Amino acid sequence: MEIQAVTMILIKTMNKSLLSFVGIFFVFLVTAQDGSSLWLGYSILENETERAAYAESLQFISFSDSTERMQLASKELQKGLQGLLGNSPHEKKKLPNQKGMYGVQLQLDEDLTLSKEGFEIEYTPQGTTIKAKKDLGILYGVYAFLREMQLRKPEPFTVVDQPKVKIRMLNHWDNANGTVERGYAGSSIWKWFELPYRLDPRYEDYARANAALGINGVTLNNVNASSRFLTSEYLEKIKALADVFRPYGIQIYISVNFRSPKTLGGLATSDPLDPAVRKWWKDKTREIHQYIPDFGGFLVKANSEGEPGPQDYGRTHKDGANMLADALQGYEGIVIWRAFVYKADPNGDRFKEAYKQFKPLDGTFDPKVIVQVKNGPIDFMPREPFHPLFGALPNTPLAMEFQITQEYLGQATHWVYLGGMYQECLRSDTYAKGPGSSVAKVIDGSLFEHEISLMAGVANTGSDANWTGHPMGQSNWYAFGRLAWNPEMDAATIAKEWVVQSLSRKEEAVSTLTDLMMSSHATYVKYTYPLGLHHMMGEGHHYGPQPWLDKSGRPDWTSVYYHRASASGIGFDRTGNYSDALDLYHPEVQENWKDPQSCSLDYLLWFHHLPWDFKLNTGNTLWDELITRYYEGVAEVEQMSTRWESVQAQIPSPIYENIRGRLKIQAKEALWWRDACTLYFKEFSQLPIPEGLTPPSRTLEEVKKLEAIYHLR
């Protein structure tokens, strides 16, 4: 909201309480303009009548039990109502016995049939009650109530909600030196050199933002882990963060290096079956709990991309995971063992590697172990088929790992809302127990009746004032949190929630921005990886196109390994002629993809190698459809800019200008992707650019120089 518009509201509605608040409000407004407030900006409700109605019914806050978290919930409610209504509720009173007291009652009720994190909200013009079995549920209920106030008119409503996934976690790929692997929003928000003696105020801001989404777990450090995080020096620092996060219901997890018994303990081995190694981990776990009594557990990347693991000693993933689970016996924490593993095989298919290693281990893991699987079988590609492990391990709980940071999705210069991509994966049917066996039901534990469940997202936060670099990147953090709470939520509903809380409540702006968000992912895929192409980004930095990459540290880090373009056609045959990866899915899933004539075009080249003149169900040849989609993607980015400009008056100016500039970058780089791939693949197809499309104005060699320049940066 623009300052001029707010001024008019204040002039029209000025009263004693607002006069006392003006100074504070304008400080808040200036802060909110840069995006730093995330979805907790609580800008004043513009509709004077609705604002007055809410204010009339929310005159005070009372709560039944004065726990630290209940007081925190009351503080959050006061802060939110101060922003939304322009005045804060009266001083807290004892819980009244009668209804019609025109206030908010925060009430613990052990008889509710909800989990400890669930809540019940009942709003009427005569008063509001937020109930929960535990005070954490009250805190979540307060955030939900403030969200509903911004989305609803002041008419009676009831909300009953509880999370479907037990552990809802952000994985930070942050390093001790302040860098962030695949981070595009500045340096790490964890200031390790200041901890534990100085606590940056942003730590609490971060905790509030996560609690408002129901995120209840944070892994602080990179999965390519340094053993340093297990030293007493760093455990003291981590304890300081855990103390900040605890009131907000957030537990701390630590990524560990499997070689730590050697590097820290001075042992001759890190073999998980060695008694001395097992004792070292038990002793270290005991030490961690002395600092952090409610320690969440260990996250492990092992025997993947050069990281050490149990296979170094002839052991299995089960042996390594169960050793750590044994160290956690007697504590509440768990072991999160990542399934992102693959061997360097020039004649293999990376698509199959995790399945080959983990399928035989189903049912052998300790009950404290959950296996964390990426949403797709390669590596966070812009669009992937769901991972074949989902539905393949009925006796092992599986966690979902999404990437929020846009490693392969234009990083912090391209606008790509990921809610739809997450939804596409979660709603995919594995058919593991017949129709309706969605990925969401696998990871929330309901399909195979597992007690523990987890959804993790690789965080996109950094030291930038707006947290995520690209302002729209905030929406992906938000969407992840909402879907982790309930994997069956609708991505468009989530997008609208974020717009209303973060950018604008104007109906035209909300509609336009929600539409832009929902189409942004498909647009990105069109100008980068249409028809199921994948893994053609620049080497190392993973930015921009490099479809010609044919040499790297290992074959499955090249582009040609995946697209297999030749004079005969393009695509990776996984139907059995080259790879039998399609066989890893249940028969009903295979039916969706095995026939190129009926296969969804979004996944066509994931599973089929087809000639350039293959006739598609669109009526186009494969070549014409491929190139047309590249051109459509570029045109759609230009349309995004036009639509963004149409809502300028309804968006805070700093955010508007920030995104406007980034859309110009996106348009330039969409053209880079289009020209690079069109000109490169044309050398194999030897076919003309489809009729009606203007050929690129530059040569392939000129485009290749752009990638070389980027490598020099």
pLDDT for 101 equals 67
Lowest mean pLDDT among 11-15, 230-234, 434-438, 634-638: 11-15
Mean pLDDT of the chain: 93
Percent residues over pLDDT 90 in the chain: 90
Query: Given a cut of 80, is residue 574 above it in pLDDT?
Result: yes
In sequence order, the 6+-apart residues with CB closer than 8 A to the CB of 469 are: 184, 185, 186, 411, 412, 460, 462
Which member of 274, 305, 602, 636 is catalytic? 305
Rounded to the nearest 5°, which phi and psi values hold at 127?
A: 155, 160
Query: Given a cut of 70, is residue 493 above it in pLDDT?
Result: yes
pLDDT for 537 equals 96
pLDDT for 99 equals 54
Q: In what order do the strands lie in the sheet with 127-132?
A: 90-93, 60-63, 104-108, 127-132, 119-124, 157-161
Query: Given a cut of 80, is residue 65 above it in pLDDT?
Result: yes
Query: Given a cut of 80, is residue 90 above it in pLDDT?
Result: no
| Active-site residue flag, 161 | no
CA–CA dist 438, 97 (Å, integer): 46
- Report which of 280, 278, 284, 316 is spatially closest to residue 298, judged by C-alpha positions: 284
- pTM score: 0.95
Confidence band of 711 (pLDDT split at 50, 70, 90) = low
Confidence band of 2 (pLDDT split at 50, 70, 90) = very low
- Give 545 or 1, the one with higher predicted confidence: 545
**Average pLDDT in the 379-397 region?**
98
**Average pLDDT in the 279-306 region?**
97
Confidence band of 100 (pLDDT split at 50, 70, 90) = low
| Active-site residue flag, 407 | yes
DSSP letter for each residue of 430-494: --BTBTT-BHHHHHTSTTTT-S--EEEEE----SSTTSSSSTTHHHHHHHHHHHHH-TTS-HHHH
Say how many Å lie between the first and final Cα of the chain, rounded: 38
Query: Given a cut of 50, is residue 4 above it in pLDDT?
Result: no
Percent residues over pLDDT 70 in the chain: 93
Which member of 174, 349, 407, 497 is catalytic? 407
Query: Given a cut of 60, is residue 31 above it in pLDDT?
Result: no
Confidence band of 347 (pLDDT split at 50, 70, 90) = confident
Chain CA centroid to CA 458, Å: 6
Residue 483 near residue 455 (C-beta atoms within 8 A):
yes
pLDDT for 637 equals 98
| Active-site residue flag, 379 | yes
pLDDT for 96 equals 57
Which member of 271, 307, 379, 675 is catalytic? 379
Query: Given a cut of 60, is residue 281 above it in pLDDT?
Result: yes
Query: What is the tens place of the pLDDT at every residue in 9-20?
Result: 333 444 444 433
Task: Spell out the domains of the chain, with CATH numbers in brackets.
Answer: 3-98+134-152 (3.30.379), 167-502 (3.20.20.80), 526-712 (3.90.1330.10)
**Average pLDDT in the 473-481 region?**
98
**Average pLDDT in the 199-221 region?**
98
CA angle 542, 547, 553 (to 5 degrees): 60
Query: What is the tens place of the pLDDT at every residue in 400-454?
Result: 999 999 999 999 999 999 999 999 999 999 999 999 999 999 999 999 999 999 9
Residue 10 near residue 4 (C-beta atoms within 8 A):
no
What are the angstrom distances between the C-alpha of 670 and each of 171, 541, 604? 29, 17, 22
- Give 710 or 679, the one with higher predicted confidence: 679
